[in-house]
Amino acid sequence: MAVEIDLVKRKPDWLRVSLPSGDDYDRVRAKVNALALNTVCKEAACPNIAECWGAGTATIMILGDTCTRGCRFCNVKTGNPKGVVDWMEPIRVADAVRDLGWKYLVLTAVDRDDLADGGALIFANTVRAIHERVPGSRVEILSGDYRGDLQALDIVMDARPDVFAHNLETVRRLTPTVRDKRATYDQSLKILAHAKSRAPERFTKTSLMIGLGENEDEIERAMDDARGAGVDIFTLGQYLQPTKKHLPVVEFVTPEKFDRLGALAKSKGFHQVVSSPLSRSSYHAEQAFEAQ
């Protein structure tokens, strides 16, 4: 059974993580800071930062640290960047990938509704720069929805990312409560389906946070909707409230329930399923290619 949040005084033991430390963690942090890069690891307060940075990997967040949307689960700063773009950022990101010896990078971005293309060209330029500077590397992008603009999405897909990810985040019923009003459930499905149709040979991916009050039938329907859009990789993780200003956790979902939901997702025919309390969209992302 799920652990009801009003019955606990603190996070359950399975959600406790180590504080970031170690030489590899320090090396990644130093390189990220030296190149003036943002990471979703820090900005979104990811619980896996110690494990991932300690292993020498990170999720780089491009297009600044200010998002034009205000989703009620997200710890990234909200505001108006007023069209400011750093066109040299793709080079700095590619240099970091080369210097740190990464062969698999997850690249994400804040939503940039202030830009005509939603930041698609910077995304594309960054993917190309990484492939040019680090031959043989793989790039997974965790993308926004470009306000449903499929031409903007095509700009990104033409750069040939190895994995295209875009998150549903939550079930259909809770989407208006959890996500910014500009991010609709059906718009996300449209983006995922179009990305798959543009590059059927490449992986597409989506993720759900649970513990926000959804039920198992709704989770299963989201799985079916994702498969219907051609999604190959499906991840499930526990929602954690980043600050008191964000949505509260309704329940702490047990590892056993995550295992059961993961098995259900696998039965739907996904290429890869990652389901655990601490799973996030980019967690163990490189393992999709090991499963081929």
pLDDT, one tens digit per residue, over 84-94 is 999 999 999 99
Q: Is the pLDDT of residue 24 over 90?
A: no
- Any domain includes 41: yes
First to last CA, the chain: 34
Residue with tokens 């500077």: 133
Closest CA to 174 of 94, 83, 121, 239: 239
Question: Are the CB atoms for 11 and 252 separated by under 8 Å?
Answer: yes
CATH number for position 173: 3.20.20.70
What's the whole-number average pLDDT of the chain? Answer: 86
Q: What is the pLDDT of residue 111?
A: 96
Q: What is the pLDDT of residue 7?
A: 39
Question: Are the CB atoms for 262 and 234 separated by under 8 Å?
Answer: no
Residue with tokens 């293309």: 117
**From CA 197, how far away is CA 199, in angstroms rounded?**
6
- Any domain includes 9: no
Residue with tokens 């491009």: 62
Q: Is the pLDDT of residue 82 over 80?
A: yes
Average pLDDT over residues 34-51: 54
- Any domain includes 168: yes
- DSSP secondary-structure letter at 209? E
The burial of 264, by beta-carbon neighbours within 10 Å (0-12 exposed, 13-18 middle, 19 or more buried), is given as: middle
Residue with tokens 């959804």: 214
Question: Are the CB atoms for 94 and 134 separated by under 8 Å?
Answer: yes
Distance (Å) of CA 69 to CA 119, 141, 169, 209: 14, 19, 14, 18
Q: What is the pLDDT of residue 4?
A: 44
Highest mean pLDDT among 49-53, 185-189, 278-282: 185-189
In the sheet that 272-275 helps form, which strands lie side by side, from edge to edge? 38-39, 59-62, 104-109, 138-142, 163-165, 203-210, 233-238, 272-275
> Which comes out higher in pLDDT, residue 224 or 96?
224
Q: What is the pLDDT of residue 99?
A: 85
- Any domain includes 7: no
Domain holding 57, by residue range, is: 16-290
pLDDT band at 5; cut points 50, 70, 90: very low
Closest CA to 219 of 260, 248, 163, 164: 260
**From CA 109, how far away is CA 37, in angstroms rounded?**
11
- Any domain includes 194: yes
Q: What is the pLDDT of residue 30?
A: 67
- Any domain includes 83: yes
Q: What is the pLDDT of residue 289?
A: 60
Distance (Å) of CA 203 to CA 161, 199, 271: 9, 8, 9
Name the domain count of the chain.
1
Q: What is the pLDDT of residue 35?
A: 55
- Any domain includes 4: no
Closest CA to 140 of 277, 278, 274, 275: 274
Instruction: Indicate the Cα dihedral angle 256, 246, 42, 130, nearest 10°.
Output: 80
Q: What is the pTM of this model?
A: 0.86
CA torsion sign for 31, 37, 39, 43 is positive
Alpha helices, DSSP H only, in the chain?
Answer: 23-34, 40-43, 49-54, 89-100, 120-133, 150-157, 175-178, 185-198, 216-228, 255-267, 287-290
- Any domain includes 3: no
Q: What is the pLDDT of residue 54?
A: 52
pLDDT, tens digit (0-9, with 9 covering 90-100), for 154-167: 999 999 999 999 99
